[in-house]
Amino acid sequence: MMNHPEPTHEHDPGPLDADVLIVGAGVTGIHQLYLAREAGFSVRLLEAGDGVGGTWYWNRYPGCRFDSESYTYAYLFSKELFDEWEWREQFAEQPETERYLNHVVDRFDLRRHMRFDARVTSATFDEPTATWTVVTDDGTKSRSRYLIAATGVLSVPFYPDVPGRADFRGQSMHTGRWPAAPVDLTAKRVAVIGTGSSGVQIAPVIVDEVASLTVYQRSANWCTPLNNAPITSDEQKQLRVGFEAMSEVLNTSTAGFLHPANDRSAFDDTEEERQAFFETMWRSPGFSKLSSNYADVLFDDGANAEWCEFITRKIRGIVQDPGTADKLIPKDHGFGEKRPPFVTGYYEMFNDPKVSLVDLKQTPIERITERGIETADGVQEFDVIVWATGFDFGTGALLRMGVRGRDGLALVDHWAEGPTTFLGVQTTGFPNFFFPGGPHAAAGNNPRYNGDQVEFITRALASLRDDGFDTIEVGPEAEESWTAMVDRGAGQSPFGEASYFFGTNIPGKPRKYLLNSGGRPKLFKEIAKVEANDYQAFRRTRTSDGGNRGQR
């Protein structure tokens, strides 16, 4: 346990509540809490929701599920935990994931460090003591040495500014704020606005119960099958036997998946071989369509076009009405320029006569009325409108928390032109503040990247303690170089170019890449360098003895 400082200067804000204060009880926050406590720090966690799960707490819409394989998304820090939790499906549904995260919290006795219904409204760095004071919406203050915001990248739902949204008299829900109480959609006339991963997941799952389903599509997406399946008892056994080997792959692979990379280029193969390969891809699970596809599928226009033509033929083969099929085929971007959704029964659903598709490029939404949605084609009445319109990705939650660093610098001003980070964990001017799983963090199977980050942060805090420091702040050179790497990498492939990955779905948000374009190899390399160089990328000081800065 770290000794709580005894401030000797006049400025004495009282004792600390914890060494480490974490915000957010999602996958990253739980992991960070566990590691920090295991490392001997006193810990607290504040969570805005009234339960554990983060993304897997708020996104409880029907059909919400992983598109990373369940066991590859799960924690790997305990073999016992891995052994005792049997994922039922290759791609688990939200309720199972929420149960799993609750199980982890209880199994490792983490709940007693958590406070729920505690939304952070301000977080202020106090320079003389190098501590953070965090205030929640009920006015409670907490002080800590270190503040770790594990607030996630998809935690602020985005509602487009459509006139009349508040006028609708029926039920209106965002997928990212789905009510905990069951929503009865039986025999209801339902609209789903948005065809990103959430919209295309919910629609086919509710279609059987509703009276009618109308999908409002602004951009068609290159959807391919998820190819989910139950995990058989033999597979369960193999997973347990192969845990170490699997962990090794997951802990070292580029995007945190098990799918092997393909070193072939599309035109290394004949036309016939290519079509056979694409068929294999179509039948393969989840993200393997990106990770195991031809190596040049994102980099060569011809290769990308061939794969898109293959998907186009599939769509035309499944969707019986040629007009609808045509609308469902993207014309404005290639595969991977938007985050590809993985679907079950999505295209097939359009063959059901109660399902219709509105192409918003032809007939944009003009307004929401009391009874429904008005486009140039008139008003269509609904009982329920589902807003599957995405999130203020990457920085949304961090910038709403009222974070102020050195000299009162507001994070919202510091990042007015977009986030600047080192390793996606720290930014200059905000000592002792970390944000794993935030901007510049991941670009693949999120828990693997975010796990790398929380492990690094925990080691960094332990090294501070061991070396007699209590304050850590990244230097400007390291931040500039990491941010420049992210921006440079983002320009090198069209990946996510047409998507919220650049923040362009939010009016007024600067266009900046929000993922880690260097991937895990770059993260591993930089972390190794930092640790080998005794944290020279950071300014480490001692403050709690009254400002005696033992800088190194």
Question: Using the rule CB under 6 A, is 390 a contact of ligand N01?
Answer: yes
Q: 7, 54, 62, 196: which one contacts ligand N01 (CB under 6 A)?
A: 196
Residue numbers 481-500 binding ligand N01 by CB under 6 A: 500
CB of 216 to ligand N01, least distance (A): 6
Q: 19, 47, 67, 473: which one contacts ligand N01 (CB under 6 A)?
A: 67
Extended beta strands in 360-451, E state: 365-368, 372-375, 378-381, 384-387, 403-404, 433-434
Q: Which is nearer to ligand N01, 21 or 441 (CB)?
A: 441
Question: Using the rule CB under 6 A, is 360 a contact of ligand N01?
Answer: yes
User: Of the listed pieces 9-17, 94-102, 215-223, 459-467, which binds ligand N01 according to CB under 6 A?
Assistant: 215-223
**Structural contact between residues 125 and 428, judged by C-beta atoms closer than 8 angstroms:** no
CB of 183 to ligand N01, least distance (A): 17
From 298, 219, 254, 296, select the one nearest 494 (Cα to Cα).
298
From 54, 52, 65, select the one nearest 114 (Cα to Cα).
52
Cα separation, 529 vs 360, in Å, equals: 49
| Neighbouring residues of 70: CB distance < 8 A, sequence distance ≥ 6 | 87, 89, 90, 91, 92, 96, 97, 231
216 phi and psi angles, rounded to 5 deg: -100, 110
Question: Using the rule CB under 6 A, is 165 a contact of ligand N01?
Answer: no
User: Of the listed pieces 192-200, 243-251, 469-477, 508-516, which binds ligand N01 according to CB under 6 A?
Assistant: 192-200
Cα separation, 449 vs 454, in Å, equals: 9
Question: Using the rule CB under 6 A, is 445 a contact of ligand N01?
Answer: no
Question: Using the rule CB under 6 A, is 160 a contact of ligand N01?
Answer: yes
CB of 388 to ligand N01, least distance (A): 5
Binding mask 137-156 for ligand N01 (x = CB under 6 A): -----------------x--
CB of 453 to ligand N01, least distance (A): 18
Q: Which is nearer to ligand N01, 195 or 304 (CB)?
A: 195
| Neighbouring residues of 103: CB distance < 8 A, sequence distance ≥ 6 | 85
# of chain residues touching ligand N01 (CB under 6 A): 25
Using alpha carbons, list the distances in angstroms from residue 449 to 54, 389, 421, 457, 521. Answer: 17, 26, 15, 13, 10
Q: 124, 375, 505, 536: which one contacts ligand N01 (CB under 6 A)?
A: 505
**Structural contact between residues 176 and 157, judged by C-beta atoms closer than 8 angstroms:** yes
CB of 148 to ligand N01, least distance (A): 22
Q: Which is nearer to ligand N01, 129 or 288 (CB)?
A: 288
Q: DSSP for 103-168?
A: HHHHHTT-GGGEE-S--EEEEEEETTTTEEEEEETT--EEEEEEEEE---SS-SB-----TTGGG-
User: Of the listed pieces 197-205, 294-302, 421-429, 450-458, which binds ligand N01 according to CB under 6 A?
Assistant: 197-205
Cα separation, 419 vs 479, in Å, equals: 10
User: Of the listed pieces 9-17, 180-188, 195-203, 249-257, which binds ligand N01 according to CB under 6 A?
Assistant: 195-203
Kindly list the residues in this chain that would bind ligand N01 in the complex (CB under 6 A): 66-67, 154, 160, 175, 193-199, 201, 216, 218-219, 339, 360, 365, 388-391, 500, 505
